[in-house]
Structure 1
Amino acid sequence: MDGFDLALLPRLIISGSGLDPEPLARQAGIPGRALRTDHARITGDRYLRAWELVEHGVDHREIALMIAERYVVGALGLYDYLFITAPTLWDGMAATGTYMNTISTNWRFEPAEETDREFSFTVHLNTGEGRGADLAMQFWIAGAFSRARTATGRPVNPVQVALRQPAPRRHDAFHAFFQTDQVDFGAPADTVTMRKSDLDLPLLGADSLLARILRYQAESLPPLPVRTTWLDQFRRLLRDSLMTGPTIAAVAARLATSPRTLQRRLAAHGTTWREELDRVRRSEYHRMRPAGLNSLARRLGYSDARSLSRANRRWQTR
């Protein structure tokens, strides 16, 4: 099933391509009036279809990188301004991850590996495949660096980019855009590795008062529709249970099932209670990391800060 996107996304790529927007939108199944508003909603498959049509219309295999290069920060409205008003690059990324549903329910970012000097995150497209999905993934990752460079005024580049999609005939455009030879294709997941020193860079548009106003606005907006799976519902309940002490019995009760049945359903999804609890805690840790260690430990359901420190060391050595 498809997630939903704001029509701002296809509007950005169509305008960046230089093509006539009305006929292209019509071919993608997007009402023309949707491109003229900031809050129109479309299903994710239409956004991916727009990418296919743009590539065909421009006849440029690196169209996603080209549009990312032309991306003017602010074109994605509230989503962009939540980013650029944050104090640092890390805080900006955390804000856009937290409020992703202001622009799409078909994408999410999750922390992956972490070392003393580097941090990796994985980009997930919840539903969608084919060439449109490949181009959209290229744009999300390349656009993130285009925006980071604009917002910091610095040449922010990844250490490595790994993409699940098949390799193109030539990698030159990718190496040139990301300023690294470490761009891999056919990877197990769509993952980006960054330098922690870059994540600490201050943003030129940092404004704490405006950032608070924008967060309040983001929280007040009616959320985009989202079609959830059973696993999505389980993860939401697990996240909600962290502060009260997450137990399999408590979460099973909220799902109106038994702990044993819950374990079986998790196994059917290729995961376990322990893996899911660790994944949710790790994700929330990175999202809330500016908070103090004792506060973080309580909010993540650990008995004390030492337990959280041990978990963090384990995450960093994976």
Structure 2
Amino acid sequence: MGEAMISAQFLRHVANCMELTGHPAAGLLDGIGVGRELLDDPDGMIPLASFLAFFEQAANLVRNPHFGLHAGRLAGSDSLGPLSFLFLSAPTLRQAFLSFTRYLSAMQQASTNQFVDGPGGATFSYGVLDQSLPHRRQDAEYSLGAMFSLARQFTGGEIELREVRFEHERVGDYARYREYFGCDVFFEQDCNAFSIDAHYLDLPGRVLSSSLHPILEDHLRRKAGDPGGLTYADRVTAYIAARPLDDPPSIADAAAHLGLSVPTLGRRLRAAGTTWRELLHEHRMVAAARLLRDSRRSISAIALAVGFSESASFIRSFSRHFGQSPHRFRITPPR
């Protein structure tokens, strides 16, 4: 598998936000080998690792631990390239989230995002899948902040969030998070996500004509080179990632979500070279690796958090999966 890439247009917004603080971005851009002309190229792509590193370095340079939230607050119709326009031209807020999550992969690889719509409300979740990429806090806070900003623009400011969850530990002032999102914010959680009440989902857009939406969908579908959308293995992985680690879904839950029978889902996963058990195990191991690297939880607490009843079986499973014990992984995580 090649190096994960992301649209250079995403970096353009972050670089512009940095320069609004009075700090030129040229030095950091040179450091990751990106010229200004690439930022303006609608088809330009850069390594995801470079984007994440730039974000963290920019936060340090401007001395703002909340730089990701700052960039999210400033997100607008041109911040995420055609994805911003796709979101803002949707006929309803529900469709805005569904379309965005369907086509993010056209502009950012090695990431997961999902919109789970239930009777009482909905949850949008986002995360970088590659555990070898260590610089992810600013990106996570920006991604949720930008989606909240787009949703507020879409609804004319009517939307309020129920709660926000982040994978990482809190850094900086909690009041800044509370003030921006207007709700409780939790840290060291299973995923980066926010939840909204159901009555907001049918609100119409107030920014762009919905006649643009199918045109933008077609553009992003062709850009992704995937007229049929995600594979079933991709959809199952995203579905698992959006559920609580300590209450994982069953294969019956996933099959019902995808509109399939359990045997049919099993056959389609085997055709893709995997199984339900393998996908669920991979998710638990990836989550455990993240918690070992990014939190101070004990190994026994992490074992419980990812669904193991006791530490010994977790240590054996983790050691087989990664070739080293959880303790050794925490000391020297793979690069």
**TM-score normalized with structure 2 length:** 0.67
1:251-262 map, 5 Å: 251=268, 254-255=271-272, 262=275
Opposite residue 215 of structure 2, the aligned amino acid is I
* Match 1:173 to one of 168, 172, 176: 176
* Structure 1 residue aligned with 2:75: 71
* Structure 2 residue aligned with 1:285: none
* Match 2:161 to one of 135, 158, 161: 158
Number of equivalences = 259
How far is 1:79 from its partner?
Answer: 0.8
How far is 1:120 from its partner?
Answer: 2.1
* Structure 1 residue aligned with 2:121: 118
CA distance in 1, matches of 2:193, 2:131: 17
CA distance in 2, matches of 1:24, 1:200: 42
User: What SS is found at the alignment partner of 1:67?
Assistant: helix
1:211/1:160 CA distance change after superposition, 3 Å: same
Query: Conserved in 1, the CA contact under 8 Å of 2:49 and 2:133?
Result: no
* Match 2:191 to one of 171, 189, 192: 189
Residue 108 of structure 2 is aligned to residue 104 of structure 1: yes
User: What SS is found at the alignment partner of 1:71?
Assistant: coil
Question: Which 4+ stretches in 1 moved above 4 angstroms?
Answer: 128-131, 230-236, 242-246, 261-268
CA distance in 2, matches of 1:156, 1:210: 23
* Structure 1 residue aligned with 2:212: 210
* Structure 1 residue aligned with 2:89: 85
Opposite residue 106 of structure 1, the aligned amino acid is A
* Match 1:29 to one of 11, 33, 53: 33
How far is 1:263 from its partner?
Answer: 6.7
CA distance in 2, matches of 1:152, 1:26: 38
How far is 1:211 from its partner?
Answer: 1.4
Residue 53 of structure 2 is aligned to residue 49 of structure 1: yes
1:221-240 map, 5 Å: 221-223=223-225, 232=234
* Structure 2 residue aligned with 1:247: 264
CA distance in 2, matches of 1:149, 1:55: 25
Query: Conserved in 1, the CA contact under 8 Å of 2:153 and 2:207?
Result: no
Opposite residue 200 of structure 1, the aligned amino acid is D
Residue 282 of structure 2 is aligned to residue 269 of structure 1: yes
User: What SS is found at the alignment partner of 2:161?
Assistant: coil
Query: Conserved in 2, the CA contact under 8 Å of 1:86 and 1:205?
Result: no
1:194/1:29 CA distance change after superposition, 3 Å: same
Query: Conserved in 1, the CA contact under 8 Å of 2:9 and 2:39?
Result: yes
Query: Conserved in 2, the CA contact under 8 Å of 1:50 and 1:132?
Result: no
How far is 1:142 from its partner?
Answer: 0.6
How far is 1:143 from its partner?
Answer: 0.6
1:248/1:9 CA distance change after superposition, 3 Å: closer
How far is 1:187 from its partner?
Answer: 1.3
How far is 1:5 from its partner?
Answer: 0.4
Query: % of aligned pairs identical?
Result: 18
* Structure 2 residue aligned with 1:275: none
CA distance in 2, matches of 1:234, 1:193: 20
* Structure 2 residue aligned with 1:220: 222
CA distance in 1, matches of 2:64, 2:237: 40
CA distance in 2, matches of 1:110, 1:150: 20
How far is 1:151 from its partner?
Answer: 1.9
CA distance in 2, matches of 1:141, 1:265: 29
User: What SS is found at the alignment partner of 1:269?
Assistant: helix
CA distance in 2, matches of 1:48, 1:59: 17
- Structure 2 residue runs of 5 or longer lacking an equivalent are 239-253, 285-335
* Structure 1 residue aligned with 2:317: none
CA distance in 2, matches of 1:252, 1:134: 32
Query: Conserved in 2, the CA contact under 8 Å of 1:16 and 1:71?
Result: no
How far is 1:217 from its partner?
Answer: 1.6
User: What SS is found at the alignment partner of 2:13?
Assistant: helix
How far is 1:255 from its partner?
Answer: 4.6
* Structure 2 residue aligned with 1:127: 130
